[in-house]
Amino acid sequence: MIRMAGGRDAVAHWAGAHHDRARLDPTVVPAPVVVALVAADND
């Protein structure tokens, strides 16, 4: 849905993978960004 609304691929990737870290692609979302997003997510 994020892509359909014109959102960036990296945002859509994070939204789809943030509950399953194994799906994260480090070439799309760099490790330091993942650390920051995980810290901010708090779920």
Contacts of 16 (CB under 8 A, 6+ apart): 23
Say if 1 falls within a structural domain: no
Question: 43: pLDDT confidence band, cut at 50, 70 and 90?
Answer: low
Q: Which domain holds residue 28?
A: 9-41
Say if 21 falls within a structural domain: yes
Cβ(33)–Cβ(21) under 8 Å? Answer: no
Say if 16 falls within a structural domain: yes
Say if 28 falls within a structural domain: yes
Total domains, the chain: 1
Say if 13 falls within a structural domain: yes
This prediction's pTM: 0.51
Q: How do residues 1-29 score in pLDDT, each as one tens digit?
A: 888 899 888 888 777 777 677 777 778 77
Say if 4 falls within a structural domain: no
Cα 30 from Cα 43, distance rounded (Å): 20
What pLDDT score was predicted for residue 6?
A: 92
Nearest in space to 11 (alpha carbons), one of 31, 29, 38: 29
